[in-house]
Each structure stands twice: as C-alpha cells, then as structure tokens.
C-alpha cells in the first residue's frame, strides 16, 4: 500500500525507517511538526530528507492546500506515530483505508498524553500499547491490536518506554498496516465502562509527598524518571530524584523525609514503611549528583519537604 507517516521524534523516525527498510509498503510522504528555533532537527525529518521522501511540516491539518498536496500522492493509509496535535476528520478521511494511531497504553485505560507515567505511578504491574482508528474524541477509536508489557518492580518510565513499548510499538505499526492491507484488520469497540483519562504528568504532580507510603513515593519516582522528575526540597533548594531503590522496613521509626545515612554512593532517607536510597539526583541549579553525595549539602538529620 501507499502509506503516509505522520509522526515526530525518534519513535516516528523508527517507524518510518521500519517501513522503508523492512516492508513492501511505499511511503509516499512524511508529516511532522515545524522546526523549533534552537532545537535539534527532528529525526523523522532527517530520515525523510535522506531518502528524498516528500516532507510536510505543519500544525494546520485543516489546510485545503495541504489536503490537495496529500491527495496527489493517492495514499491508501496514514500512520500516526507519536503525534501531539489533534488531527481533524477532514484530514483523516483523505485516505482510502483510513488513519491509524499508536498509543502507549492498553486502551481504554490511560487515555491522554502521559499514558506511560501514570500506570507506573499508580503501581500497576502491566501496561502496553494500542493501535487504533482515531475519531473525533481523545483516544476513543476502534482498536486494531494491542500488545501487553510487564512493569517490573524497579522499572522506570525510561525502562518501560525505551526497552519495551518503543520497539514493540514500531513492530505493531507495521503489523496493523499488514492486517489492513490483507483485509483482516478487526475493529474492536472500546469498553467505555473501563475507560480512564489522565492529563499531562506535570511538575505539580511529581512533588514528593512524604506523608505517603514508601512504596507510593518509590512508584512516583520511577514513573517520573526521567520526565518530569519527582522532586522535593531541602533547606529551600529543589532536588530531582532519579536512581533510587526502596527497602521495606516496617520497624523504621524516623520522621519521613529525614536523611538517616550518607556515604559516597547514596543517601538513605526515611519513608513510611521503609528506607529510600538515592544514588542519582539533580539540583535545581543543574548540578548532578551521581554516587557522589556532597556531605556539605546533604547532612544526616536534615529533612526533605
């Protein structure tokens, strides 16, 4: 089939590369976000230009001029691979066999933009990805296929996305297109009774609440590593927590948030039900502490808030 890839960043570029190098489908055009001054060129743009694939950069998917240009390529299908803009019906309906979209959760669970953060923060043991036909509502279209992945007890956001969902999602985009090309693609209606929605995981969501259990705090840190970064204050300065581990210790009697030990590799902080050990963190001034805890900054008895 003739396919258009609408995507951004490394995921979009990897999907484009997969179609170009490992399938018989023809990529007739690529669409991505406009360049941002001071930011690196989007990888999907770089790859498209390296193969001289027609490239369109826009935020206006209602443009009749854009529609007319796309129609000239006579595309069969559009694949949305990491898309942050709303794509209107007028654009989606250009394609003979429709438009499909990648979403990094098991829809209808975790509709919304931070779909990988929230399952980890909530302590889930499983998440996954969905390829679906988008409609005029956020992440509500009919499902073509889904893939599950395990969330291990110490997995971070980076682990779940880059090592699990990312490579599986690239393959799933091709699998879905092959199903559509063969005429065997299902259209499974989402069960609205099971739907959940969360908005962006923002800095205000990632502030550590030391009154919560140690496991909840650890889940928050894992689910925000690397973005947006779970954080707390000590003596008025903010610190973002990255590499941590949680040790259950029900007999721990210190005030939650208090530093109870420091060595060159880590600091140990009391939490409800155990101890949080931190081996990598960053200050709001940008100083990175990686197994090099400054005892002039972090002192036994000081308390994070």
Residue-wise pLDDT for 185-195, tens only, equals: 999 999 999 99
Mention the CATH class of domain 214-290. alpha beta
Q: What pLDDT is recorded for position 181? A: 97
Q: Identify the pLDDT of residue 297.
A: 85
Checking if the pLDDT of 292 tops 80, the result is: no
Average pLDDT, the chain: 96
pLDDT at 66 over 80: yes
Cα dihedral sign, 107-109-112-117: negative
Integer angstrom CA distances of residue 283 from 157, 173, 240, 242, 305: 20, 39, 6, 11, 14
Q: Given this model, what pLDDT does residue 294 score?
A: 80
Structure confidence by residue, pLDDT tens digits, 142-174: 999 999 999 999 999 999 999 999 999 999 999
Q: What is the pLDDT of residue 205?
A: 98
What is the model's pLDDT at position 45?
98
- The pLDDT of residue 48: 98
Q: Higher pLDDT residue, 193 or 291?
A: 193
Mean pLDDT to the nearest integer, 260-267: 91
Place 199 in a pLDDT band, splitting at 50, 70 and 90: very high
Q: Where exactly are the structural domains of the chain?
A: 2-194, 214-290
pLDDT at site 160: 98
| CATH number of this structure's domain 2-194 | 3.40.50.170
């Amino acid at each position: 089939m003739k396919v258009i890839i609408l995507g951004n960043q490394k995921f979009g570029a990897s999907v484009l590369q997969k179609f170009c190098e490992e399938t018989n489908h023809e990529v007739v055009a690529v669409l991505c976000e406009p360049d941002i001054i001071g930011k690196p060129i989007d990888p999907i743009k770089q790859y498209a230009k390296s193969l001289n694939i027609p490239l369109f950069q826009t935020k206006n998917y209602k443009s009749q001029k854009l529609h007319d240009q796309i129609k000239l390529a006579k595309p069969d299908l559009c694949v949305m691979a990491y898309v942050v803009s709303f794509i209107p019906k007028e654009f989606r309906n250009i394609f003979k066999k429709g438009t499909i979209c990648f979403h990094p959760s098991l829809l209808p669970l975790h509709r919304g933009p931070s779909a990988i953060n929230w399952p980890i923060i909530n302590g889930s043991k499983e998440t996954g990805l969905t390829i679906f036909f988008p409609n005029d509502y956020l992440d509500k279209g009919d499902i073509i296929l889904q893939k599950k992945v395990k969330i291990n007890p110490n997995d971070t956001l980076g682990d779940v996305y880059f090592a699990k969902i990312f490579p599986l999602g690239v393959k799933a985009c091709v699998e879905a297109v092959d199903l559509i090309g063969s005429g065997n693609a299902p259209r499974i209606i989402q069960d609205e009774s099971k739907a959940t929605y969360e908005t962006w995981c923002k800095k205000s969501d990632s502030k550590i609440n030391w009154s919560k259990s140690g496991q909840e705090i650890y889940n928050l840190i894992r689910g925000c590593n690397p973005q947006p970064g779970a954080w707390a204050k000590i003596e008025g300065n903010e610190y973002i927590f990255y590499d941590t581990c949680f040790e259950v210790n029900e007999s721990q009697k210190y005030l939650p948030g208090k530093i109870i030990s420091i060595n060159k590799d880590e600091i140990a902080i009391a939490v409800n039900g155990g101890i949080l050990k931190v081996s990598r963190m960053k200050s709001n001034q940008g100083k990175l502490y990686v197994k090099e805890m400054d005892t002039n900054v972090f002192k036994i008895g000081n308390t994070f808030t």
